[in-house]
Structure 1
Protein backbone atom coordinates (compact mmCIF):
# COMPACT_ATOMS: atom_id res chain seq x y z
CA UNK A 1 0.00 0.00 0.00
CA UNK A 2 1.57 3.28 -1.05
CA UNK A 3 1.27 6.44 1.02
CA UNK A 4 0.71 9.70 -0.90
CA UNK A 5 3.41 12.31 -1.03
CA UNK A 6 2.42 15.18 1.29
CA UNK A 7 0.62 17.96 -0.53
CA UNK A 8 2.75 21.14 -0.55
CA UNK A 9 -0.06 22.89 1.30
CA UNK A 10 0.22 20.37 4.15
CA UNK A 11 4.00 20.41 4.52
CA UNK A 12 5.45 23.08 6.83
CA UNK A 13 7.33 25.85 5.01
CA UNK A 14 8.97 27.83 7.79
CA UNK A 15 10.52 30.30 5.34
CA UNK A 16 6.99 31.45 4.39
CA UNK A 17 5.74 31.73 7.96
CA UNK A 18 6.13 34.47 10.54
CA UNK A 19 7.28 31.95 13.17
CA UNK A 20 3.74 31.53 14.46
CA UNK A 21 4.48 28.34 16.41
CA UNK A 22 7.27 30.23 18.22
CA UNK A 23 4.95 33.05 19.23
CA UNK A 24 1.28 32.05 19.26
CA UNK A 25 1.65 28.86 21.30
CA UNK A 26 2.50 28.56 25.01
CA UNK A 27 5.45 26.51 26.31
CA UNK A 28 5.66 25.00 29.80
CA UNK A 29 9.08 24.35 31.33
CA UNK A 30 9.50 20.56 31.16
CA UNK A 31 11.59 17.84 29.57
CA UNK A 32 10.43 19.25 26.22
CA UNK A 33 11.01 22.97 26.83
CA UNK A 34 13.77 24.64 28.82
CA UNK A 35 11.60 27.60 29.89
CA UNK A 36 8.03 28.80 30.27
CA UNK A 37 6.56 30.97 27.52
CA UNK A 38 3.01 32.32 27.51
CA UNK A 39 0.89 32.30 24.37
CA UNK A 40 1.38 35.41 22.26
CA UNK A 41 4.90 36.15 23.46
CA UNK A 42 7.86 35.44 21.13
CA UNK A 43 10.24 32.71 22.25
CA UNK A 44 13.48 34.13 23.65
CA UNK A 45 15.36 32.23 20.92
CA UNK A 46 13.44 33.89 18.04
CA UNK A 47 15.56 36.22 15.90
CA UNK A 48 14.39 39.35 14.10
CA UNK A 49 14.32 37.45 10.78
CA UNK A 50 11.83 34.92 12.26
CA UNK A 51 14.50 32.22 12.42
CA UNK A 52 15.39 30.20 15.49
CA UNK A 53 18.71 31.19 17.05
CA UNK A 54 19.37 27.63 18.27
CA UNK A 55 17.76 25.61 15.49
CA UNK A 56 20.80 23.37 15.01
CA UNK A 57 21.01 22.50 18.72
CA UNK A 58 17.42 22.46 19.90
CA UNK A 59 17.64 19.06 21.59
CA UNK A 60 20.83 19.66 23.61
CA UNK A 61 19.54 23.14 24.50
CA UNK A 62 16.44 21.63 26.09
CA UNK A 63 13.89 22.33 23.35
CA UNK A 64 13.16 18.82 22.10
CA UNK A 65 9.47 19.77 21.92
CA UNK A 66 10.21 22.08 19.03
CA UNK A 67 11.78 19.27 17.02
CA UNK A 68 8.63 17.14 17.13
CA UNK A 69 6.05 19.85 16.38
CA UNK A 70 4.40 19.91 12.97
CA UNK A 71 1.94 22.59 11.88
CA UNK A 72 0.99 20.61 8.73
CA UNK A 73 1.46 23.80 6.69
CA UNK A 74 -0.88 25.95 8.79
CA UNK A 75 1.86 28.48 9.51
CA UNK A 76 2.42 29.59 5.93
CA UNK A 77 -1.29 29.47 5.16
CA UNK A 78 -2.18 31.84 7.99
CA UNK A 79 0.83 34.07 7.28
CA UNK A 80 0.57 34.30 3.50
CA UNK A 81 -3.10 33.65 2.71
CA UNK A 82 -5.37 34.32 5.68
CA UNK A 83 -3.50 37.55 6.45
CA UNK A 84 -2.10 38.28 2.98
CA UNK A 85 1.57 38.33 3.98
CA UNK A 86 1.15 40.95 6.70
CA UNK A 87 3.93 40.64 9.26
CA UNK A 88 2.59 40.79 12.83
CA UNK A 89 5.70 42.73 13.87
CA UNK A 90 5.20 45.41 11.24
CA UNK A 91 1.41 45.34 11.58
CA UNK A 92 0.81 44.67 15.30
CA UNK A 93 -2.95 45.16 14.87
CA UNK A 94 -3.09 41.76 13.16
CA UNK A 95 -1.17 39.93 15.87
CA UNK A 96 -4.01 38.87 18.15
CA UNK A 97 -6.24 37.70 15.28
CA UNK A 98 -3.33 35.90 13.60
CA UNK A 99 -2.33 34.10 16.79
CA UNK A 100 -5.95 33.04 17.34
CA UNK A 101 -6.35 31.76 13.76
CA UNK A 102 -3.17 29.69 13.74
CA UNK A 103 -4.18 26.86 16.13
CA UNK A 104 -7.57 26.58 14.40
CA UNK A 105 -6.01 26.18 10.96
CA UNK A 106 -3.40 23.84 12.37
CA UNK A 107 -6.10 21.44 13.59
CA UNK A 108 -7.92 21.64 10.26
CA UNK A 109 -4.74 20.96 8.31
CA UNK A 110 -4.05 17.90 10.42
CA UNK A 111 -7.50 16.61 9.47
CA UNK A 112 -6.75 17.35 5.81
CA UNK A 113 -3.60 15.22 6.14
CA UNK A 114 -5.55 12.23 7.47
CA UNK A 115 -8.36 12.62 4.94
CA UNK A 116 -5.86 12.81 2.08
CA UNK A 117 -4.31 9.54 3.26
CA UNK A 118 -7.76 7.95 3.63
CA UNK A 119 -8.41 8.52 -0.09
CA UNK A 120 -5.43 6.28 -0.94
CA UNK A 121 -6.67 3.29 1.06
CA UNK A 122 -8.30 1.00 -1.50
CA UNK A 123 -10.20 -1.24 0.93
CA UNK A 124 -12.05 1.90 2.06
CA UNK A 125 -13.16 2.79 -1.49
CA UNK A 126 -16.89 2.57 -0.60
CA UNK A 127 -16.30 5.44 1.84
CA UNK A 128 -14.25 7.63 -0.48
CA UNK A 129 -17.24 9.75 -1.47
CA UNK A 130 -17.83 10.67 2.18
CA UNK A 131 -14.12 11.25 2.65
CA UNK A 132 -13.98 13.65 -0.31
CA UNK A 133 -16.94 15.61 1.03
CA UNK A 134 -15.32 15.80 4.45
CA UNK A 135 -12.05 16.93 2.88
CA UNK A 136 -13.82 19.66 0.88
CA UNK A 137 -15.71 20.85 3.96
CA UNK A 138 -12.49 20.96 5.98
CA UNK A 139 -10.71 22.89 3.25
CA UNK A 140 -13.54 25.45 3.15
CA UNK A 141 -13.20 25.99 6.88
CA UNK A 142 -9.41 26.34 6.66
CA UNK A 143 -9.79 28.91 3.87
CA UNK A 144 -12.03 31.12 6.01
CA UNK A 145 -11.48 34.72 6.98
CA UNK A 146 -10.03 35.53 10.40
CA UNK A 147 -13.56 36.21 11.63
CA UNK A 148 -14.86 32.93 10.22
CA UNK A 149 -11.98 30.99 11.74
CA UNK A 150 -12.63 32.55 15.13
CA UNK A 151 -16.23 31.32 14.95
CA UNK A 152 -15.34 27.81 13.74
CA UNK A 153 -16.45 24.96 16.01
CA UNK A 154 -13.33 22.90 15.46
CA UNK A 155 -14.10 20.31 18.14
CA UNK A 156 -17.43 19.36 16.59
CA UNK A 157 -15.99 19.13 13.09
CA UNK A 158 -13.05 17.11 14.37
CA UNK A 159 -15.41 14.64 16.05
CA UNK A 160 -17.31 14.14 12.78
CA UNK A 161 -14.13 13.59 10.78
CA UNK A 162 -12.70 11.30 13.46
CA UNK A 163 -15.79 9.08 13.31
CA UNK A 164 -15.44 8.82 9.53
CA UNK A 165 -11.72 8.03 9.76
CA UNK A 166 -12.48 5.28 12.26
CA UNK A 167 -14.87 3.70 9.75
CA UNK A 168 -12.14 3.94 7.13
CA UNK A 169 -9.68 2.33 9.51
CA UNK A 170 -12.07 -0.50 10.40
CA UNK A 171 -12.64 -1.34 6.73
CA UNK A 172 -8.92 -1.43 5.99
CA UNK A 173 -8.03 -3.50 9.07
CA UNK A 174 -10.92 -5.91 8.55
CA UNK A 175 -9.02 -7.54 5.71
CA UNK A 176 -6.35 -8.90 8.05
CA UNK A 177 -6.80 -12.46 9.29
CA UNK A 178 -6.89 -13.31 12.98
CA UNK A 179 -7.61 -11.31 16.10
CA UNK A 180 -6.90 -7.58 16.00
CA UNK A 181 -6.10 -5.96 19.33
CA UNK A 182 -8.06 -2.96 20.54
CA UNK A 183 -5.88 -0.61 22.61
CA UNK A 184 -7.76 2.57 21.78
CA UNK A 185 -6.89 5.22 24.37
CA UNK A 186 -5.00 2.64 26.44
CA UNK A 187 -2.38 3.57 29.02
CA UNK A 188 0.65 1.73 27.66
CA UNK A 189 3.29 4.00 29.15
CA UNK A 190 6.50 1.99 29.45
CA UNK A 191 4.73 -1.15 28.22
CA UNK A 192 6.89 -4.14 27.33
CA UNK A 193 5.79 -4.89 23.79
CA UNK A 194 9.05 -6.07 22.27
CA UNK A 195 8.28 -8.26 19.27
CA UNK A 196 4.54 -7.86 19.81
CA UNK A 197 2.13 -8.83 17.03
CA UNK A 198 0.18 -5.58 16.61
CA UNK A 199 -0.74 -5.77 12.94
CA UNK A 200 -4.13 -4.18 12.44
CA UNK A 201 -4.34 -3.09 16.08
CA UNK A 202 -6.42 -0.10 17.10
CA UNK A 203 -3.92 2.15 18.90
CA UNK A 204 -5.84 5.40 18.46
CA UNK A 205 -4.90 7.83 21.19
CA UNK A 206 -2.91 5.18 23.05
CA UNK A 207 -0.27 6.47 25.45
CA UNK A 208 2.83 4.63 24.31
CA UNK A 209 5.32 6.94 26.00
CA UNK A 210 8.65 5.11 26.50
CA UNK A 211 7.01 1.82 25.47
CA UNK A 212 9.34 -0.92 24.27
CA UNK A 213 8.16 -1.66 20.73
CA UNK A 214 11.42 -3.03 19.45
CA UNK A 215 10.81 -5.44 16.55
CA UNK A 216 7.04 -5.08 17.01
CA UNK A 217 4.86 -5.65 13.94
CA UNK A 218 2.64 -2.59 13.41
CA UNK A 219 1.63 -2.91 9.77
CA UNK A 220 -1.92 -1.54 9.28
CA UNK A 221 -2.09 -0.55 12.95
CA UNK A 222 -4.20 2.60 13.42
CA UNK A 223 -1.87 5.09 15.12
CA UNK A 224 -3.93 8.25 14.82
CA UNK A 225 -3.23 10.39 17.89
CA UNK A 226 -0.99 7.78 19.55
CA UNK A 227 1.63 9.31 21.85
CA UNK A 228 4.96 7.81 20.80
CA UNK A 229 7.26 10.05 22.82
CA UNK A 230 10.45 8.12 23.55
CA UNK A 231 8.84 4.88 22.36
CA UNK A 232 11.53 2.42 21.29
CA UNK A 233 10.86 1.51 17.66
CA UNK A 234 14.20 -0.11 16.85
CA UNK A 235 13.60 -2.77 14.22
CA UNK A 236 9.82 -2.28 14.35
CA UNK A 237 7.76 -2.77 11.20
CA UNK A 238 5.64 0.35 10.60
CA UNK A 239 5.12 -0.22 6.90
CA UNK A 240 1.53 0.63 5.97
CA UNK A 241 0.76 1.85 9.50
CA UNK A 242 -2.40 3.95 9.32
CA UNK A 243 -2.41 7.71 9.95
CA UNK A 244 1.16 7.83 11.26
CA UNK A 245 2.72 11.30 11.05
CA UNK A 246 6.27 12.56 10.85
CA UNK A 247 5.83 14.33 14.18
CA UNK A 248 5.06 11.00 15.89
CA UNK A 249 8.22 9.47 14.44
CA UNK A 250 10.29 12.49 15.46
CA UNK A 251 9.11 12.05 19.04
CA UNK A 252 10.06 8.36 19.11
CA UNK A 253 13.37 6.51 19.06
CA UNK A 254 14.37 4.11 16.35
CA UNK A 255 17.24 3.04 14.15
CA UNK A 256 18.22 2.03 10.65
CA UNK A 257 16.32 -1.23 11.01
CA UNK A 258 12.98 0.49 11.68
CA UNK A 259 10.78 -0.01 8.63
CA UNK A 260 8.78 3.10 7.82
CA UNK A 261 5.78 3.87 5.61
CA UNK A 262 6.50 5.33 2.21
CA UNK A 263 6.51 9.12 2.35
CA UNK A 264 7.84 9.45 5.90
CA UNK A 265 11.50 10.10 6.74
CA UNK A 266 13.85 8.60 9.28
CA UNK A 267 14.42 11.28 11.95
CA UNK A 268 17.90 12.79 11.98
CA UNK A 269 18.45 11.91 15.65
CA UNK A 270 17.95 8.18 15.06
CA UNK A 271 21.18 6.15 14.72
CA UNK A 272 21.81 4.60 11.33
CA UNK A 273 22.05 1.07 12.67
Structure 2
Protein backbone atom coordinates (compact mmCIF):
# COMPACT_ATOMS: atom_id res chain seq x y z
CA UNK A 1 0.00 0.00 0.00
CA UNK A 2 1.41 3.37 -1.08
CA UNK A 3 1.23 6.30 1.33
CA UNK A 4 0.86 9.77 -0.15
CA UNK A 5 2.21 12.85 1.61
CA UNK A 6 1.32 16.06 -0.24
CA UNK A 7 3.65 19.02 -0.16
CA UNK A 8 2.80 22.03 2.00
CA UNK A 9 1.31 25.06 0.25
CA UNK A 10 3.92 27.02 -1.65
CA UNK A 11 3.22 30.13 -3.78
CA UNK A 12 3.90 29.57 -7.49
CA UNK A 13 2.22 32.63 -9.02
CA UNK A 14 5.52 34.37 -9.74
CA UNK A 15 7.63 31.22 -10.06
CA UNK A 16 8.64 31.91 -13.67
CA UNK A 17 9.95 35.37 -12.82
CA UNK A 18 11.77 34.01 -9.79
CA UNK A 19 13.42 31.28 -11.83
CA UNK A 20 14.60 33.82 -14.40
CA UNK A 21 16.30 35.86 -11.68
CA UNK A 22 17.83 32.76 -10.10
CA UNK A 23 19.17 31.60 -13.47
CA UNK A 24 20.88 34.94 -14.00
CA UNK A 25 22.42 34.79 -10.54
CA UNK A 26 23.55 31.19 -11.04
CA UNK A 27 25.05 32.06 -14.41
CA UNK A 28 27.12 34.82 -12.82
CA UNK A 29 28.20 32.65 -9.90
CA UNK A 30 29.23 29.76 -12.14
CA UNK A 31 31.10 32.19 -14.35
CA UNK A 32 33.25 33.13 -11.35
CA UNK A 33 34.40 29.58 -10.63
CA UNK A 34 37.64 29.90 -12.56
CA UNK A 35 38.60 33.20 -10.95
CA UNK A 36 41.46 33.19 -8.43
CA UNK A 37 39.34 34.78 -5.67
CA UNK A 38 36.57 32.78 -4.00
CA UNK A 39 33.63 35.18 -4.30
CA UNK A 40 31.72 33.06 -6.79
CA UNK A 41 32.84 29.70 -5.44
CA UNK A 42 31.62 30.53 -1.94
CA UNK A 43 28.08 30.93 -3.26
CA UNK A 44 28.13 28.30 -5.98
CA UNK A 45 26.71 25.25 -4.20
CA UNK A 46 23.93 27.07 -2.35
CA UNK A 47 22.94 29.03 -5.45
CA UNK A 48 22.86 26.03 -7.79
CA UNK A 49 20.92 23.94 -5.26
CA UNK A 50 18.40 26.75 -4.70
CA UNK A 51 17.85 26.91 -8.45
CA UNK A 52 17.33 23.13 -8.64
CA UNK A 53 14.86 23.15 -5.75
CA UNK A 54 13.03 26.15 -7.18
CA UNK A 55 12.44 24.31 -10.46
CA UNK A 56 10.46 21.78 -8.43
CA UNK A 57 8.02 24.48 -7.32
CA UNK A 58 6.24 24.22 -10.68
CA UNK A 59 7.64 20.84 -11.72
CA UNK A 60 7.20 18.73 -8.57
CA UNK A 61 7.80 15.43 -10.35
CA UNK A 62 10.93 16.74 -12.13
CA UNK A 63 9.69 15.68 -15.56
CA UNK A 64 11.07 18.70 -17.42
CA UNK A 65 14.58 18.64 -18.83
CA UNK A 66 15.39 22.04 -17.33
CA UNK A 67 14.67 20.66 -13.87
CA UNK A 68 16.92 17.64 -14.27
CA UNK A 69 19.61 19.84 -15.81
CA UNK A 70 19.52 22.09 -12.74
CA UNK A 71 19.92 19.12 -10.39
CA UNK A 72 22.82 17.74 -12.39
CA UNK A 73 24.50 21.15 -12.37
CA UNK A 74 24.16 21.42 -8.58
CA UNK A 75 25.70 17.95 -8.27
CA UNK A 76 28.58 18.91 -10.57
CA UNK A 77 29.24 22.09 -8.63
CA UNK A 78 29.40 20.30 -5.28
CA UNK A 79 31.81 17.67 -6.53
CA UNK A 80 33.92 20.22 -8.44
CA UNK A 81 34.42 22.43 -5.40
CA UNK A 82 35.79 19.55 -3.35
CA UNK A 83 37.79 18.10 -6.24
CA UNK A 84 39.57 21.39 -6.86
CA UNK A 85 40.04 22.13 -3.17
CA UNK A 86 41.69 18.81 -2.40
CA UNK A 87 43.89 18.73 -5.51
CA UNK A 88 47.64 19.03 -4.98
CA UNK A 89 47.88 21.67 -7.69
CA UNK A 90 45.74 23.42 -10.24
CA UNK A 91 44.18 24.14 -12.54
CA UNK A 92 41.70 21.30 -11.99
CA UNK A 93 39.45 20.48 -14.98
CA UNK A 94 35.83 20.12 -13.85
CA UNK A 95 32.70 19.77 -15.90
CA UNK A 96 29.91 22.16 -14.95
CA UNK A 97 26.41 22.22 -16.51
CA UNK A 98 24.91 19.55 -18.73
CA UNK A 99 26.75 19.45 -22.03
CA UNK A 100 28.87 22.37 -20.86
CA UNK A 101 32.54 22.96 -21.33
CA UNK A 102 35.13 21.78 -18.86
CA UNK A 103 36.15 24.58 -16.53
CA UNK A 104 39.61 24.92 -15.04
CA UNK A 105 39.25 25.61 -11.32
CA UNK A 106 42.15 26.70 -9.14
CA UNK A 107 43.35 24.38 -6.39
CA UNK A 108 42.11 26.28 -3.36
CA UNK A 109 42.86 24.09 -0.36
CA UNK A 110 40.51 24.30 2.66
CA UNK A 111 37.93 27.09 2.54
CA UNK A 112 35.22 28.31 4.96
CA UNK A 113 32.48 27.14 2.58
CA UNK A 114 33.94 23.62 2.21
CA UNK A 115 32.62 22.33 5.50
CA UNK A 116 30.94 19.10 6.57
CA UNK A 117 27.48 20.42 5.74
CA UNK A 118 28.53 21.20 2.17
CA UNK A 119 30.12 17.75 1.89
CA UNK A 120 26.89 16.03 3.00
CA UNK A 121 24.86 18.10 0.54
CA UNK A 122 27.30 17.23 -2.26
CA UNK A 123 27.19 13.53 -1.39
CA UNK A 124 23.38 13.57 -1.35
CA UNK A 125 23.38 15.19 -4.79
CA UNK A 126 25.78 12.58 -6.15
CA UNK A 127 23.51 9.83 -4.81
CA UNK A 128 20.42 11.43 -6.36
CA UNK A 129 22.13 11.81 -9.74
CA UNK A 130 23.67 8.30 -9.48
CA UNK A 131 27.14 9.70 -9.98
CA UNK A 132 29.21 6.91 -8.48
CA UNK A 133 32.58 8.29 -9.54
CA UNK A 134 31.87 11.67 -7.99
CA UNK A 135 30.50 10.01 -4.86
CA UNK A 136 33.71 8.00 -4.56
CA UNK A 137 35.84 11.11 -4.96
CA UNK A 138 33.83 12.81 -2.21
CA UNK A 139 34.21 9.73 -0.01
CA UNK A 140 37.99 10.21 -0.20
CA UNK A 141 37.84 13.73 1.26
CA UNK A 142 39.38 13.50 4.75
CA UNK A 143 37.23 14.60 7.66
CA UNK A 144 40.28 16.52 8.88
CA UNK A 145 40.03 18.61 5.70
CA UNK A 146 36.38 19.44 6.47
CA UNK A 147 37.29 20.52 9.99
CA UNK A 148 39.78 23.01 8.57
CA UNK A 149 36.88 25.09 7.25
CA UNK A 150 36.43 26.52 10.72
CA UNK A 151 32.67 25.93 10.58
CA UNK A 152 31.00 24.90 13.83
CA UNK A 153 28.85 21.75 13.81
CA UNK A 154 27.62 19.26 16.34
CA UNK A 155 30.09 16.40 16.47
CA UNK A 156 27.57 13.90 15.09
CA UNK A 157 27.91 15.58 11.69
CA UNK A 158 31.47 14.33 11.31
CA UNK A 159 30.43 10.84 12.41
CA UNK A 160 27.70 10.94 9.74
CA UNK A 161 30.27 11.90 7.10
CA UNK A 162 32.47 9.03 8.26
CA UNK A 163 29.48 6.66 8.15
CA UNK A 164 28.78 7.47 4.52
CA UNK A 165 32.46 7.23 3.61
CA UNK A 166 32.88 3.88 5.38
CA UNK A 167 29.74 2.56 3.71
CA UNK A 168 30.96 3.63 0.29
CA UNK A 169 34.19 1.69 0.68
CA UNK A 170 32.54 -1.29 2.40
CA UNK A 171 34.41 -0.86 5.66
CA UNK A 172 33.51 -2.93 8.68
CA UNK A 173 33.21 0.12 10.94
CA UNK A 174 30.15 1.47 9.11
CA UNK A 175 27.73 0.36 11.84
CA UNK A 176 29.92 1.73 14.61
CA UNK A 177 30.17 5.09 12.85
CA UNK A 178 26.40 5.16 12.37
CA UNK A 179 25.74 4.37 16.03
CA UNK A 180 28.07 7.22 17.02
CA UNK A 181 26.29 9.58 14.64
CA UNK A 182 22.82 8.59 15.86
CA UNK A 183 23.82 8.98 19.49
CA UNK A 184 25.15 12.43 18.68
CA UNK A 185 21.75 13.60 17.41
CA UNK A 186 20.27 13.36 20.90
CA UNK A 187 19.04 16.89 21.68
CA UNK A 188 20.57 16.50 25.13
CA UNK A 189 23.97 16.02 23.47
CA UNK A 190 23.77 18.41 20.51
CA UNK A 191 24.76 22.01 21.18
CA UNK A 192 24.58 23.70 17.78
CA UNK A 193 21.38 22.55 16.04
CA UNK A 194 18.13 23.35 17.85
CA UNK A 195 15.85 20.52 18.91
CA UNK A 196 13.20 20.97 16.21
CA UNK A 197 15.72 21.13 13.37
CA UNK A 198 17.53 18.10 14.71
CA UNK A 199 14.48 15.89 15.21
CA UNK A 200 12.57 16.85 12.06
CA UNK A 201 15.29 17.47 9.46
CA UNK A 202 18.78 16.35 10.50
CA UNK A 203 18.07 13.03 12.24
CA UNK A 204 15.64 11.33 9.77
CA UNK A 205 18.27 10.57 7.05
CA UNK A 206 20.27 8.64 9.64
CA UNK A 207 17.25 6.55 10.62
CA UNK A 208 16.46 5.92 6.96
CA UNK A 209 20.05 4.86 6.35
CA UNK A 210 19.84 2.47 9.30
CA UNK A 211 16.77 0.80 7.77
CA UNK A 212 18.42 0.79 4.35
CA UNK A 213 21.50 -0.98 5.70
CA UNK A 214 19.27 -3.65 7.22
CA UNK A 215 17.32 -3.93 3.94
CA UNK A 216 14.16 -3.69 6.05
CA UNK A 217 11.65 -2.41 3.48
CA UNK A 218 8.68 -2.18 5.83
CA UNK A 219 10.57 -0.22 8.46
CA UNK A 220 12.26 1.87 5.78
CA UNK A 221 8.92 2.98 4.38
CA UNK A 222 7.55 3.64 7.86
CA UNK A 223 10.60 5.79 8.58
CA UNK A 224 10.10 7.59 5.26
CA UNK A 225 6.52 8.45 6.19
CA UNK A 226 7.82 9.88 9.47
CA UNK A 227 10.64 11.76 7.74
CA UNK A 228 8.37 13.44 5.20
CA UNK A 229 5.69 14.19 7.78
CA UNK A 230 8.28 15.91 9.96
CA UNK A 231 9.75 17.65 6.92
CA UNK A 232 6.32 19.06 6.12
CA UNK A 233 5.72 20.10 9.73
CA UNK A 234 9.07 21.88 9.86
CA UNK A 235 8.82 23.75 6.58
CA UNK A 236 5.22 24.81 7.19
CA UNK A 237 6.00 25.79 10.79
CA UNK A 238 6.03 29.50 10.07
CA UNK A 239 5.55 31.86 7.14
CA UNK A 240 9.26 32.38 6.52
CA UNK A 241 9.93 28.65 6.18
CA UNK A 242 6.83 28.04 4.09
CA UNK A 243 8.03 30.65 1.58
CA UNK A 244 11.50 29.11 1.29
CA UNK A 245 12.40 26.90 -1.66
CA UNK A 246 14.67 24.96 0.70
CA UNK A 247 11.66 22.97 1.87
CA UNK A 248 10.36 21.92 -1.55
CA UNK A 249 12.49 18.76 -1.73
CA UNK A 250 13.51 16.57 1.21
CA UNK A 251 17.12 16.31 0.10
CA UNK A 252 18.47 13.79 2.63
CA UNK A 253 15.47 11.43 2.54
CA UNK A 254 15.48 11.63 -1.27
CA UNK A 255 19.15 10.67 -1.46
CA UNK A 256 18.70 7.66 0.85
CA UNK A 257 15.54 6.67 -1.04
CA UNK A 258 17.51 6.69 -4.31
CA UNK A 259 20.10 4.40 -2.75
CA UNK A 260 17.37 2.08 -1.43
CA UNK A 261 15.52 1.98 -4.74
CA UNK A 262 18.72 1.12 -6.59
CA UNK A 263 19.14 -1.77 -4.12
CA UNK A 264 15.71 -3.05 -5.23
CA UNK A 265 13.90 -1.96 -2.10
CA UNK A 266 10.30 -0.91 -2.83
CA UNK A 267 9.57 2.75 -2.10
CA UNK A 268 5.96 2.83 -0.99
CA UNK A 269 5.69 6.54 -0.28
CA UNK A 270 4.72 9.15 -2.86
CA UNK A 271 5.30 12.84 -2.34
CA UNK A 272 6.32 16.01 -4.10
CA UNK A 273 9.10 16.07 -1.51
CA UNK A 274 10.53 13.07 -3.41
CA UNK A 275 10.31 14.17 -7.09
CA UNK A 276 9.34 11.05 -9.01
CA UNK A 277 11.78 11.39 -11.91
CA UNK A 278 14.69 12.05 -9.56
CA UNK A 279 13.78 9.08 -7.38
CA UNK A 280 13.32 6.77 -10.36
CA UNK A 281 16.28 8.21 -12.30
CA UNK A 282 14.02 8.99 -15.20
CA UNK A 283 16.75 10.68 -17.23
CA UNK A 284 19.14 7.73 -17.07
CA UNK A 285 21.23 7.55 -20.22
CA UNK A 286 19.66 10.69 -21.68
CA UNK A 287 21.90 13.29 -20.06
CA UNK A 288 25.65 13.46 -20.49
CA UNK A 289 26.96 14.57 -17.09
Tell me the TM-score normalized by structure 2.
Answer: 0.26
Q: Which structure's CA Rg is the greater one?
A: 1
Higher strand share: 2
| Structure with greater helix share of residues | 2
Larger relative contact order (CA 8 Å, sep ≥ 6): 2
> What TM-score comes out, normalization by structure 1 length?
0.27
